[in-house]
Structure 1
Amino acid sequence: MIKLKEVAERANVSTATVSRVLSNTGKVTEKTRKKVLAAMEELNYQPNFLARQLRKLETKTILVVVPDIANTFFSKVIRGIESVALQNDYQVLLGDSQNNSQSESQYLNHLRYKQVDGVILLTARTDSRLIEDLSDDYPVVLACEYLEGSRIPTVSIDNISSARKITDHLIKQGHQRIAHISGPMNIILGRDRLKGYEQAMTQNRYEIDQVLVQEGDFSYESGYKLMEKFLALQNPPTAVFAANDEMAIGAIKAIKKHRLSVPEDIAVVGFDDIEMASIIEPELTTVAQPTFEIGSTAMDLLLCLMKKEQLTKKQYVLEDQLVIRQSCGANEM
């Protein structure tokens, strides 16, 4: 194997100069840089990047932990992360915690063992103290989900405000008996979107029938089963707000199975604006999150932490958008 010293001898420069050319650091004239590159090509020199990374105690790799890799919402978030990571010569590893807090905490061990340089969590279901303690010593960023009162850098939307906005939209369409299929109550997103629904109902002085509030798990199947439950009521809802699009699509499937129409018999709205939301019939009214921007902003924050730069801002709340389509019975915006 050709060594760095041999390249230096062929180019008639010092080994330090060759190192500066390889790392693209320090002052090297264009003439000298070309001499070094020519020598490397003549000798077929292959730089040992792994050894260089070990000396610098960095892996040039970051880990992204996703709660459910099958949920298509996260694909654009990951693309946003990768776009910034690749521009800065970082590789991205994905870890699927499968909605399991124990799996999530096991992935965090990659940081402790220095197998990755930083972590972006798209889930925050493990012990909050564990994540807080880890973030004191290692670069950690939260995206999509968050921890209440946390000092960890976070990128998300205002889920309470967004849920209130889409519930208000149903109320403006004349609905009073509005059901809510929530996310899991052990997850901040489930609690926040329920809170937004409750605020909209209360502010409009509508009674919340607790039978019409059911806890789902963000899956298509739970949306389907809970809609079946609503349809079995003597007085079913006239509209349903599901806390994500997959559950909303499941609800639409159940309504159609009962030979009812959306939105003529029951209006349905979701949350997230996944790709299927604009493909299903009728097209789904939902809340669109700036997924790519969430990912790219999270990666920018992680880069700052890994470079030990001072953050001017730790909490980023990005703008969402109410996307009105056919499933709510209103004209598309």
Structure 2
Amino acid sequence: MENIDIKFIAKKSECSIATVSRVINRSKPVSEELQKRVIDTIRKYNYNPSIYAQNLAGKKSRLLGFIMTNYINQYQLLLFRYLNEFACKMGYGCIIRYCNSGFEEKLEVLRELEIRGIEVCFSLFLLSQEEEAYIKEHFRIKVCHMQSPEMHLNIIEKNESSVYEAVCYLAQLGHKRIGGIFCIDEIDDSFLMARKRGFLKAISQINLDQDESLIGQLHGECEKDSVISVIEKIFVPQKPPTALFCYSDEVAIEVMSWIMKQGYRIPEDISVLSFDGIPFAGRVTPSLSTISQPVEYQAKCIINGMLYLQDGIERPCDEKGNEYLLQIRDSVGFPSH
């Protein structure tokens, strides 16, 4: 049987050894067509590049893969800071790749990570059941995300209940007309949709104003113009909301800027509350009230879950750390009308 090495891959791919090396190490640009041909050949013959020769000796890779969105918000940056920190503590390095939300782009990134010897990858993108099934069938690399059961984050329940409690708090202050801005997710049962469910559940159970015009929805990446377009539809001068919940701190900061430019006061005219707990939320004026996520706990659970997928060893986290805290700051107060 012919020895499967870099020369063999170059021959089967009908290119030079140098080209195969460039594809593997991303050292120099290679045409998309040629790159695909080399990667397909590597996968077909199950070739492991010599830089990760430890895999051939039965050793586990000490690298973890991460797929990040090209549009990264402050919460995600903070999450990755802790992911990298906990991975290093466990003796692992991190390889990060960026892409847009298209499934084909994700597959290209997975192919590259796989040929570089990565066994487990965490995706900031959620994956549908169909996408997960396809990856499982066509790839050796194991892929997980925030809602994967191995993470033990209970993220759907936590997102829904924390938003529900936050809206109840606004109602206790006397707010009856509460608006909400949410992100539409292609995956119905996502943590983003759970935030909207928690909001609507509270509005319904407390018998608050259920005017549909108070609900705004954003699609995909949240550009400033899109946020302004949504808030303009909600904030009708004749009957504005007295409080507004935003699904993320960054959206809320844009919203507060727009509200104040229109001459309204926060919180005297309208209270604003959001979700994530990014550090910058406490530094804006007025300081933003928010539901703070347990980002360090999440990062630790993610790393432990990734290692479980690799070696089958359970590393449970203390559930006490999985607390979503409602931080009331200057942006929330009693309604004036």
- Equivalent runs, 1:105-120 vs 2, <5 Å: 105-110=107-112, 112-113=114-115, 115-120=117-122
Of stretches 285-294 and 303-312 in structure 1, the one that deviates more from structure 2 is 303-312
Q: CA deviation at 1:55?
A: 3.0
Of residues 191, 197, 210 in structure 2, which corresponds to 1:208?
A: 210
Contact 1:282–1:327 (8 Å) recurs in 2: yes
Cα 1:109–1:131, aligned 2, differ >3 Å: closer, same or farther? farther
In the alignment, residue 119 of structure 2 is paired with which amino acid?
A: D
Q: CA deviation at 1:108?
A: 2.8
Aligned to 2:169: 169
Cα 1:230–1:310, aligned 2, differ >3 Å: closer, same or farther? closer
- Which of these two proteins has the greater Rg computed from alpha carbons? 1
In the alignment, residue 219 of structure 1 is paired with which amino acid?
A: C
Q: Structure 1-normalised TM-score?
A: 0.74
2:165 match: secondary structure: helix
Q: Distance in 2 between matches of 1:248 and 1:155?
A: 25
Of stretches 94-103 and 165-174 in structure 1, the one that deviates more from structure 2 is 94-103
1:219 match: secondary structure: coil
Q: Distance in 1 between matches of 2:316 and 2:169?
A: 36
Q: Distance in 1 between matches of 2:135 and 2:183?
A: 27
Where does structure 1 lack aligned partners over 5 or more consecutive residues?
1-47
- Equivalent runs, 1:231-246 vs 2, <5 Å: 231-232=235-236, 234-246=238-250
Aligned to 1:263: 267
Q: Distance in 2 between matches of 1:214 and 1:89?
A: 45
Aligned to 1:290: 294
Q: Distance in 2 between matches of 1:278 and 1:98?
A: 30
Q: Deviations over 1:83-133 (max 9, x none)?
A: 221123321122333344443333233455453121112221x44223245
Cα 1:284–1:101, aligned 2, differ >3 Å: closer, same or farther? farther
Q: CA deviation at 1:201?
A: 0.7
Q: CA deviation at 1:249?
A: 0.7
* 2:142 aligned with 1:139: yes
1:129 match: secondary structure: helix
Of residues 301, 305, 308 in structure 2, which corresponds to 1:304?
A: 308
Q: Deviations over 1:31-65 (max 9, x none)?
A: xxxxxxxxxxxxxxxxx974435433644221112
Aligned to 1:71: 73
Where does structure 2 lack aligned partners over 5 or more consecutive residues?
1-49
Aligned to 2:57: 55
Aligned to 2:29: none
Aligned to 1:194: 196
Q: CA deviation at 1:181?
A: 0.3
Q: Distance in 2 between matches of 1:305 and 1:316?
A: 24
Contact 1:59–1:117 (8 Å) recurs in 2: yes
Aligned to 1:155: 153
Cα 1:151–1:301, aligned 2, differ >3 Å: closer, same or farther? closer
Q: Distance in 1 between matches of 2:229 and 2:152?
A: 34
In the alignment, residue 163 of structure 2 is paired with which amino acid?
A: A
1:328 match: secondary structure: coil
Q: Distance in 2 between matches of 1:275 and 1:312?
A: 27
Q: Distance in 2 between matches of 1:58 and 1:303?
A: 11
In the alignment, residue 180 of structure 1 is paired with which amino acid?
A: G
Q: CA deviation at 1:307?
A: 1.3
Q: Structure 2-normalised TM-score?
A: 0.73
Q: Distance in 2 between matches of 1:238 and 1:105?
A: 45
Q: CA deviation at 1:318?
A: 2.5
Q: Distance in 2 between matches of 1:245 and 1:174?
A: 23
Q: Distance in 1 between matches of 2:191 and 2:99?
A: 17
Percent identity for Structure 1 against Structure 2: 24
Q: Distance in 1 between matches of 2:152 and 2:92?
A: 20
